[in-house]
Amino acid sequence: MTHSKFATLVAACLVWANAATPSVAQLSGDTVKIGVLNDMSGPYADITGQSSLMAVQMAAEEFGGSVLGRKIEVISADHQNKPDLGSAIARRWYDQDGVDVIVGLGASSVALAVRSYAREKGKLDIATSSGSSDLTGPACSPTGFHWMHDTYALAKTLATATVKNGGSSWFFVTADYSFGHVLERDAARFVEAAGGRVIGRVRAPINSTDFSSYLLQAQASGAKIIGMANGGNDTINTVKTAREFGLVGGATQQSLASLLLMITDVHALGLEAAQGMLLTEGFYWDQTDETRGFANRFLARRKLMPNMMNAADYSATLHYLKAVQSAGTDDPAAVAAAMRSLPINDATLKNGKIRSDGRIERDMYLFRVKKPGESRGAWDLYEQIATVPFGDAFRPLSEGSCPLAAAASR
């Protein structure tokens, strides 16, 4: 789609939205249907999967279970980290099953495939679990949103802080698909911008069980930092293998830096293995009374604390439902316009707003994993090192190559 066509689409969406009458409920069916599309059985199932589904269900229940007199229905599916499967599910949901919005979309290759179809058809998608910064770049959409982290913010925050603290040389162990590639690309950029250098990289298939050969290459490189551009079980297995091989804290004085590590990963690893690691997240359960309240409700049901992706699922669903209520319809263009105009306020985010490229404006946080003796309980795992304001963490609008941003600036 050309920039001019994209600008025309945006203008059409806004004209339609302005014509909508909130006082008259205009819905396409008997329900407002939310589809949660994530990895339910693979390497990211523990950090998304049923946890994402539960977070969306919690938001629907807290909204009251209905909107504009229509029942809120939540369904889910497993995309198995396959873009073709994810796209096929999205097509069926949008075209046949009456799904109004798709939430989740962990695995950036799936998110980008779904975004392409949703943008073509003018459907709503909210990426809460995927990280590719291209979702608010070339793949941006007037009816698409990116709710939590992205590769730019994760890479910039962690790489810059690590280089400043002496981690001047890096070797990347990268998940061999779009998310890993973009994360490595962004991290390498910020390593070099901070005065460091990248001296090697290796790519591992997603859901690898044996990282020994990759880590031996990292060890042989002599890099001070082994940068893990992966996530979920791949990150956990990388850390475990590094510890077993004595790669960290030994004679080589190498350290691990995870570009996507979350509280559920740290809990699974244990503090003995994860202690001292730096990481970036957009949410931590023990920040305010409201985050603790949400997290404890989630913990009571899921027996896990929510990570930043689960917090995004909850926040995005609530905001979507508020926008449907405000617009008086579930029409995607009108709801998208309402989402962009309303402030985002919930237990996980205060006074958030949506930029023209679909990026939710939020701060990020730099954490250090506590040592075993510093922890006061099973989920007391992080020490907050810094708050990184939105403008410092995320890519400037002018650098994203999003046609919506170009149209908005004219």
Residue with tokens 């203008």: 11
Q: What was the pLDDT predicted at 20? A: 36
Q: State which of 250-254, 264-268, 277-281, 401-405 shows the largest mean pLDDT.
A: 264-268
With a CB cutoff of 8 Å and minimum separation 6, the contacts of 305 are 263, 264, 267, 285, 295, 298, 299, 379
| Nearest one of 129, 125, 128, 157 to 141, comparing CA atoms | 125
How much is the average pLDDT of 106-110? 87
* Residue 382 predicted with pLDDT over 90: yes
Percent of the chain clearing pLDDT 70 (strictly above): 90
- Distances 340 to 92, 105, 115 between C-alpha atoms, Å: 27, 20, 18
Q: What's the mean pLDDT in 68-95?
A: 96
β-bridge pairing 197-204 and 169-175: parallel
Write out pLDDT tens, residues 341-362: 999 999 999 999 999 999 999 9
272-301 residues labelled b (16+ CB within 10 A) or e (exposed): ebbbebbbbbbbbbbeeeebeebbeebbee
pLDDT tens for residues 149-171? 998 999 898 888 889 888 999 99
Alpha-carbon distance 237 to 231, whole Å? 10
Q: Which domains does the chain have, with CATH numbers?
A: 3-149+288-363 (3.40.50.2300), 152-286+364-389 (3.40.50.2300)
Helices (H) and strands (E) in the chain, counts: 15, 15
